[in-house]
Amino acid sequence: MPSLERAGDPGYLQKYKVLVLPADLMEATSAAINQALASWIKSGGVLLIFGGYDPYNQQKAAWWSAAGFPSPTDELFHQLGLNLQPATVSSTTAQPDSAFTLLGSAFNSSSPNVYNTVTYNLGPFTASGSVIIRIEDATSTAGAPVSVRTVELSVNGAPQIAFAAGTALESHFLSRDSKTRFSDGARTAADGGGWEYRFDVPVGSQATLTLNIAGDYRILARIALPADRRSLAAAADTPLTQQDPSVALKPQFPVLTYRSSNVVTSLYTLKETGGGDLPGMAGFMARIGGGAIIYEGVSSGLLASSMEAVQWYRDHLQYALDLAGLSARESNAMVVQRGPITVVKTFTRNYSLRGSYLDILSPRLSVMNDPVLPSHSCGVYFGPLRSPAIPQPLWCADRLEAQTLSDRFTALLVTGPAGTIGRIRMWTAGRRLAAAKALDELGSTTPISVQPDGDTLLLSYTNQPGGTIIRMGWR
């Protein structure tokens, strides 16, 4: 991953053709960084930048403020010769609790895992053609968290929408998420957390909501306002090709739009359901010299807020690659290599590593041959394992302060939090353990467990802040 702070180093950016910059998370630390980015774009680079409104940019002492610009991104636009003026800062509106009406509640702490089917009348909330449903944990302390497995919306007696928690279809209707997680096929919230769905229905229709739900909960509803239904809508002449031409906004991700007197290509506008476009361009593309800049005025956090937003990002990335004359093959896993450490995050399919590795997130520091990570999981591995000529530690779960290694004798000094269990995965180099002893800082013997596993041993002992000395003899 390239470092924005090093963008100004001579030749640093030359090896890259396309860069993605989350400007709300990575601020240019000086005008020199923006100058390097501008020069790289003019020389043929394509920059895909996601920005949005960021209150941090209002610092009076910041370098961009001193230069007379609202943000580092605006200073970059100036370096590129783009005559842009911020038009609007807009988002959906988070309504106060008083705007909601309680539909029902239940306290099921005595049977937290028993699911019941409940149905509520939404007729009083369909006057605007859209309704907001809030599902929240009814207790902020001890109690049974609210859990929902399935949701069904019926209109005038006929089922219209049905989905299970955690599915791609659910993400299309999810408009707010606060402290939720997935457990046993259900969306769950505790400690006062909850979530909201937004459903579009015929104006004045008789709608009902059916939930398969458990735990302590409160179900609330309100009529949706126009500001609840703002979205990014594809401009008429956008060159982007997307499955869904609009992306729903979230209250926590304001959008910053721009007006321009330059020749730029509008990609997206900000639209309010039931109304027209709001002022300015939410996204645009401009060709600069031999390269181009693609801007979308939304926080990068929006890109992970729903499946439609993920697809929206992928469309933008493909567009950037097309502008750069590149093609790319999507991987089904994110793999990061840092020396002997391999970090893997899988997506929709399994991922395999070849060779022997230590699973360093496993409590036993397990040895795994050709490990396979299931979909939607992550792992951190040490390897592939080599075959050192003498016995030595492959991985220590604590701090290894010192070691003495030979083919006959091993001595280790490790430290860790008092009373916790320390573990070391040892390579035997084909030798047999003759004896093992653990000593505290005063020289007193402390317990140690040795468990053989092929050509390795798992050492388990009680940590001491002052250090534990482990001595092993080999034959």
Confidence (pLDDT) at 255: 82
Same domain as 202, residue 315: no
Q: Is residue 328 one of the residues assigned to a domain?
A: no
CATH number at residue 76: 3.40.50.880
Claim to verify: residue 220 and residue 102 sit in the same structural domain: yes
* 373 & 439 share domain: no
Residue written as token pair 């290894």: 400
Query: At 176, which CATH number?
Result: 2.60.120
Is residue 57 domain-shared with residue 125, that is, in the same domain? no
pLDDT tens, residue by residue, 440-464: 989 999 999 999 999 999 999 999 8
> What is the pLDDT at residue 123?
94
Tally of domains within the chain: 4
Residue 359 is part of which domain span?
Answer: 333-382
DSSP letter at 264 equals -
For residue 387, being part of any structural domain is answered with: no
- Do 124 and 157 lie in one domain? The reply is yes
- Rounded to whole angstroms, how far apart are CA atoms 279 and 299? 19
Q: Give the global pTM.
A: 0.59
Q: Give the tokens for residue 461.
A: 């002992």
| CA-wise closest residue to 205 among 127, 286, 316 | 127
Share of the chain above pLDDT 70, in %: 91
How does pLDDT run across 349-358, given as a tens digit for each residue? 899 999 999 9
- The mean per-residue pLDDT over the stretch 384-399 comes to 94
Whether 160 is covered by a domain: the verdict is: yes
38 and 117, same domain (yes or no): no
Mark out the alpha helices in 26-155 (DSSP H runs). Answer: 31-42, 63-66, 72-79
Quote the tokens at residue 241: 């090709």
| Same-domain status, 220 and 238 | no
218 & 110 share domain: yes
Q: Which residues pair with 372 in a beta bridge?
A: 352
The 10s digit of each residue's pLDDT in 150-172 is 999 999 999 999 999 988 788 77
User: What is the reported pLDDT for 174?
Assistant: 81
Judge whether 433 and 457 are in contact, CB under 8 Å.
Answer: yes
The verdict on residue 447 lying in a domain is yes
Query: Regarding beta strands 146-155 and 84-90, do their DSSP bridges make them parallel or antiparallel, or are they unpaired?
Result: unpaired
Residues 13 and 110 in one domain: no
pLDDT value at residue 300: 85
CA–CA gap between residue 412 and residue 152 (Å, rounded): 61
Residue 422 lies in a domain: yes
The reported pLDDT for the residue numbered 388 is 92
The string of pLDDT tens digits covering residues 217-272 is 999 999 987 656 666 777 766 777 554 556 767 666 778 888 886 668 888 877 76
Which among 323, 345, 372 is the end of a domain? 323
Other beta carbons within 10 angstroms of residue 95's beta carbon come to: 18
Q: Which of 299, 323, 347 is the last residue of a domain?
A: 323
Whether residue 102 sits in one domain with residue 213: yes
Average pLDDT over residues 199-226: 91
Q: Which of the listed residues 173, 204, 224 is the one where a domain comes to its end?
A: 224
- 108: pLDDT strictly greater than 50: yes
Return the HEC string of 381-410. EECCCCCCCCCEEEEECCEEEEEEECCCEE
- By mean pLDDT, which of 116-130, 320-334, 380-394 is the weakest? 320-334
83 CB contacts (<8 Å, ≥6 apart)?
260, 261, 262
Specify whether the CB–CB gap between 351 and 332 falls below 8 A.
yes
User: Is residue 413 within 8 Å of residue 404, measured between CB atoms?
Assistant: no
Name residue 14's amino acid. Q
pLDDT digits (tens, 9 = 90+) for 29-80: 899 999 999 999 999 999 999 987 777 787 888 999 999 998 999 999 999 9
In a 3-state reduction of DSSP, which class is residue 356?
Answer: strand
Are 360 and 389 a contacting pair, CB within 8 Å? no
Q: Are residues 351 and 439 in the same domain?
A: no
Same domain, 17 and 78: yes
Element (DSSP H or E) covering residue 320: helix 307-323
Residue 315: inside a domain, yes or no? yes
In 3D, which of 414, 378, 240 has the Cα closest to residue 322? 240
The CATH number assigned to the domain holding 401 equals 2.60.40.1180
- The answer as to whether 289 is a domain residue is yes
The chain-wide mean pLDDT, for the chain, equals 87
Of 25-34, 103-112, 232-241, 399-408, which range is least confident? 232-241
Q: What is the pLDDT of residues 422-445, one digit of tens each?
A: 999 999 999 999 999 999 989 999
